[in-house]
Structure 1
Amino acid sequence: MKRAPHVIPYQGSKRKLAQDILSYMDFEISTLYEPFVGSGAITLAAAANEKADRFVVADKLEPLAELWKLIIHEPDALVKEYSRLWNEQLSDPAVYFKKVRADFNSTKSPSDLLYLVARCVKNAVRFNRNGEFNQGPDNRRLGLKPEKLKKEVDSMSQLLKGRIEIVGCDFREAIAKADSNDLVYMDPPWQGTSGKRDPRYAHLLVLDELIEALDALNARNVPFMLSFDGTCGDRAYGAELPDFLQLKRVGLHAGRSSQATLLGRNDVTIESLYLSPALLAKTKIKSLEKRNPHLEFLGKAFI
């Protein structure tokens, strides 16, 4: 698989799982939609490996969508602003991070967001109840150097310019025009296990709205893939999706849990990838079953 550019270092990115996920894109795809785009690991890997003709990406966090627009359409301006931020921090990185964080919460500057994501602890974006960025800096590092960022930004711009649409909106609006010739890949916020608000996300997902949207995609015969829940050791994350969606669940090996490693355990994370009926009708399912014999079926259509 060809390497894809990597600009936005989001924790939870599907970058390590991209090869497994792309293996299901073994049919002609007109437009690939990624309505919870984040760092866009799947869109970038798909573009680098010529899996689709065009791309539509969206995120409800509008500064993130604006950051994508800068990367694609104004790469030089973004690199210049990031370089200014990166160099200005050098006298006192911790204090400067807090200044940029306050600026971002006031102005929602996309270049400020890129700096914060690059510098924050474990690249783990966190928001408070008011939707303000509240993660602290990782004082062991300064973030990606400007010259390295420029290389990745230029590569990403060249890869997608002229064949991508970027919008800041709700996921349902972003996929409204998808049809049977397209593919929708969704990596929405996980539900977690506590039922409490998850600070990783500025905008939370209503499960019933997701299920309704998946049902609508099925009704339009739109192929889709959904990364949604999983397990870590003996702990399961997320509620089960209903049988009537007729989805096929594949367990993807995401590696050893970093938290478990700190606790001296060997827990392995398995992330679930759900395949829609329309996708199963197009992909080479028999060969995939041979490659991964531990497929679990949901619904009666494919038992």
Structure 2
Amino acid sequence: MKNDTITPFVKWAGGKRQLLPKIKELLPERFETYYEPFVGGGALLFELKKDGAIINDINLSLINAYTQIRDNVELFLEYINDLDARIINGNKEYYYYIRDLYNSKLFEKNFDTELASMFVFLNKHCFNGLYRVNSKGLFNVPYNKSIKPSVNRDNIIEISEYLKKITIMNGDFEDCCVDANEGDFIFFDSPYAPLNTSSFDSYTKEGFEIDEHIRLAELFDELTERGCFCMLTNHNTDLINNLYSNKGYNLEVVKVKRFINSDSSNRKGEEIIICNY
């Protein structure tokens, strides 16, 4: 594991940058392969920068960005620099023009380097970096009036070099963990459980329902039996507590700030960190 770090190239709902000090404090002293089945922005991935890691996410646009940065970094930078050059005066019409182009390519399933650059550009110039799609799976987040550059070139080059040393998957979280063995470490930055049982926040058209949380808890138990080190983070809710309590796991509640909620009075909350070691 290296000491130097790189920073995430996208902001992602539920990202763990503010929790990194606590998460690092709770890491196993030693572990073999690092797995992250819900990689999102990859805050812990890029903090650890561990070679041979296996990452996954169900969001194909996100994973396309990871793979394009890995495989076609100069073309990616060329595209995104061109996008940034045209938004410099806060041209919201240009933002919505690119959003429409992105959705057209998304509808056509044209997952290429240009789409990856649009994905990152929209992430950095949309409201709160929120990735939200409508019922048709099309991105629909409004402009945030930012004119800042979307990426730092040196950081993206470093990310590209690091991603060449790991495995990138796009699929179900359970498939990511098939080969996890004793001594491996799996970090589940799982989609948030609802703060109340009447609603779910969905950031992909697939969503993540209560049944999926139950299946994830069952996988956590199975990996524990295999001798894997597992850590999971989520909202501190009755659902999550009921799924992981009374099993001998260590549960710790931490205070967090919420950046996605539009109501500033609701931007404080609690998360729970669950470890099986």
- 2:227 maps to which of 221, 226, 245: 221
Deviation string 1:230-284 (CA, Å, 9 cap, x unpaired) is: 2xxxxx5754214464321112332487869834x8x7432111001xxx1xxxx
> Is the Cα contact below 8 Å between 1:180 and 1:222 reproduced in 2?
yes
- 2:157 maps to which of 145, 154, 158: 154
Q: Which moved more, 1:252-261 or 1:204-213?
A: 252-261
Unaligned stretches of 5+ residues in structure 2: 107-114
State the Cα distance separating 1:134 from its structure 2 match: 1.1
Q: Which moved more, 1:206-215 or 1:63-72?
A: 206-215
State the partner residue of 1:273: 273
**What pairs up with 1:3-22 in 2 under 5 angstroms?**
3-22=5-24
Question: For this pair of structures, how many residues does the alignment match?
Answer: 262
In angstroms, what is the RMSD of aligned CA positions?
2.6
State the Cα distance separating 1:83 from its structure 2 match: 1.0
State the TM-score, normalized to the length of structure 2. Answer: 0.84
* Structure 1 residues 19 and 73, CA gap change in structure 2 (3 angstroms): farther
Q: Does 1:202 align with 2:205?
A: yes
Deviation string 1:114-138 (CA, Å, 9 cap, x unpaired) is: 1111110111221222222111110
State the partner residue of 1:60: 58
> Is the Cα contact below 8 Å between 2:39 and 2:55 reproduced in 1?
yes
> Is the Cα contact below 8 Å between 2:28 and 2:229 reproduced in 1?
no
SS in structure 1 at match of 2:35: strand
Deviation string 1:167-194 (CA, Å, 9 cap, x unpaired) is: 1111111111111121000111112225
State the Cα distance separating 1:208 from its structure 2 match: 2.2
State the Cα distance separating 1:151 from its structure 2 match: 2.1
Q: Which residue identity does 2:174 align to in structure 1?
A: R
Q: Distance in 2 between matches of 1:238 and 1:72?
A: 37
- 1:88 maps to which of 81, 86, 92: 86
SS in structure 2 at match of 1:54: coil
> Is the Cα contact below 8 Å between 2:253 and 2:271 reproduced in 1?
yes
Higher relative contact order structure (alpha carbons within 8 Å, sequence separation ≥ 6): 2
State the TM-score, normalized to the length of structure 1. Answer: 0.77
* Structure 1 residues 81 and 260, CA gap change in structure 2 (3 angstroms): closer
> Is the Cα contact below 8 Å between 1:60 and 1:170 reproduced in 2?
yes
Q: Distance in 2 between matches of 1:196 and 1:2?
A: 40
SS in structure 2 at match of 1:270: strand
Q: Which residue identity does 1:272 align to in structure 2?
A: I
Q: Distance in 2 between matches of 1:91 and 1:260?
A: 25
* Structure 1 residues 111 and 260, CA gap change in structure 2 (3 angstroms): closer
Unaligned stretches of 5+ residues in structure 1: 231-235, 281-303
- 2:133 maps to which of 110, 127, 131: 127
